[in-house]
């Protein structure tokens, strides 16, 4: 996510071959996928608001939310929620609640250019307090209480262990504000090899260590499977090892960061594993489309039909 609000461009040249991959991998035919078109998904896959704007035929968030619901999805996400005008936040929240959908984590803080959580000083504490109070206001307004925070850049002048200690203490400080509000902060390990060089938090074991040390129900992990495939692989074993600290997932295939079935990740097996663990949380579809326009949006829906455990 060069910016979390703009996903990587699609690789249209490979789309024809990739399009058939989901049905080949899962044994589901296109005919069966069409028959399942509008039934509820087993897992809480969460498209971003506006992901299907061409199929929906509207840019209005409420129209998009209704379309998402009518296609059988049980959740949505909106990384940029706090940047919307308050009246638009309320409109979105009202429609999501009306449709009975779950809401994935929204981004409260993700500045990839600054050292922040890794430092121990009053300026950082003041900034984090202001940011948490801002998030609490959005959470009260909308009822959406899971927020995503990225701990920022690595400090080359400070030993890694001191930085880890500072991140833990700063998250404890944030948790003191989050807990009374019923909020959950999810921290996200991101890859440095392709998208985000220089960031502090990169791996699932590292995130797990931090959450265990913070020891608060208000601080958990969002496991972005796309990023972790690039960083360390070993996807299902790491999910298993971090299970008690994971609150949400992001997904996207690799390479390309498009829908499942367009890269090397076996999403059918990953979703099946989550299903057998009785995972009830959101799986945010934080990726692009392998083809342009309405046809590309159709392929995204079919890809999730093909991978949905049933």
pTM of the model: 0.89
The pLDDT of residue 15: 36
267-272: long-range pairs with CB below 8 Å, 24+: 267/225, 267/307, 268/25, 268/26, 268/306, 268/307, 269/236, 270/225, 270/235, 270/236, 270/239, 271/43, 271/307, 271/308, 271/309, 272/309
The pLDDT of residue 20: 39
Domain residue ranges of the chain, discontinuous segments joined by +: 12-307
The backbone torsions φ and ψ at residue 98, rounded to the nearest 5 degrees and listed phi first, read: -60, -40
Task: Please state, in angstroms and rounded to a whole number, the distance separating the CA atoms of residues 181 and 108.
Answer: 15
Q: Which secondary-structure segment (H or E) carries 223?
A: strand 219-224
Gap between the terminal Cα atoms of the chain: 31
* Domain 12-307: top CATH class: alpha beta
User: Among the options 188, 259, 297, 302, which is catalytic?
Assistant: 188
Among the listed residues 82, 122, 126, the one whose alpha carbon sits nearest the alpha carbon of residue 106: 82
Question: Cβ(290)–Cβ(24) under 8 Å?
Answer: no
Helix, strand, or coil (residue 147):
strand
Task: Please state, in angstroms and rounded to a whole number, the distance separating the CA atoms of residues 20 and 73.
Answer: 22
The pLDDT of residue 38: 81
Say whether 188 is catalytic: yes
User: Among the options 95, 259, 286, 297, which is catalytic?
Assistant: 286
The CB density around residue 45, as the number of other CB atoms within 10 Å, is 27
Tens place of pLDDT per residue across the chain (310 aa): 444 444 434 333 333 333 334 443 444 555 555 456 689 999 999 999 999 999 999 999 999 999 999 999 999 999 999 999 999 999 999 999 999 999 999 999 999 999 999 999 999 999 999 999 999 999 999 999 999 999 999 999 999 999 999 999 999 999 999 999 999 999 999 999 999 999 999 999 999 999 999 999 999 999 999 999 999 999 999 999 999 999 999 999 999 999 999 999 999 999 999 999 999 999 999 999 999 999 999 999 999 999 999 7
Sign of CA dihedral 102, 281, 38, 224: positive
Say whether 286 is catalytic: yes
Sign of CA dihedral 79, 85, 90, 91: negative
């Amino acid at each position: 996510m060069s910016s979390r609000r703009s996903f990587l461009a699609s690789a249209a040249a490979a789309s024809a071959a990739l399009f058939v991959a989901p049905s080949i991998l899962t044994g589901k035919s296109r005919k069966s996928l069409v028959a399942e078109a509008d039934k509820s998904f087993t897992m809480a896959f969460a498209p971003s608001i506006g992901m299907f704007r061409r199929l929906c035929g509207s840019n209005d968030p409420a129209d998009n939310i209704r379309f998402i619901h009518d296609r059988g999805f049980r959740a949505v996400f909106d990384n940029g929620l706090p940047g919307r005008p308050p009246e638009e936040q309320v409109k979105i929240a009202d429609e999501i609640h009306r449709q009975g959908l779950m809401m994935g984590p929204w981004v409260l803080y993700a500045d990839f250019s600054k050292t922040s959580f890794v430092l121990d000083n009053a300026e950082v504490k003041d900034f984090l307090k202001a940011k948490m109070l801002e998030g609490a206001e959005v959470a009260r307004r909308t009822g959406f209480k899971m927020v995503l925070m990225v701990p920022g850049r690595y400090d080359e002048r400070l030993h890694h262990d001191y930085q880890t200690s500072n991140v833990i203490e700063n998250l404890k400080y944030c948790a003191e504000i989050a807990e009374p509000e019923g909020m959950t902060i999810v921290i996200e390990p991101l890859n440095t090899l392709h998208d985000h060089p220089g960031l502090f938090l990169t791996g699932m074991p590292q995130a797990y260590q931090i959450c265990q040390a913070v020891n608060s129900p208000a601080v958990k992990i969002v496991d972005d499977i796309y990023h972790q495939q690039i960083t360390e692989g070993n996807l299902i074993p790491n999910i298993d090892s971090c299970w008690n600290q994971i609150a949400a997932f992001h997904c996207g295939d690799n390479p390309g960061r498009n829908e499942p079935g367009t890269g090397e990740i076996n999403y059918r097996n990953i979703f099946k594993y989550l299903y057998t663990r009785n995972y009830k949380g959101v799986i945010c579809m934080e990726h692009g489309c392998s083809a342009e326009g309405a046809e590309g949006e159709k392929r995204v829906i079919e890809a999730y039909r093909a991978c949905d455990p049933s």
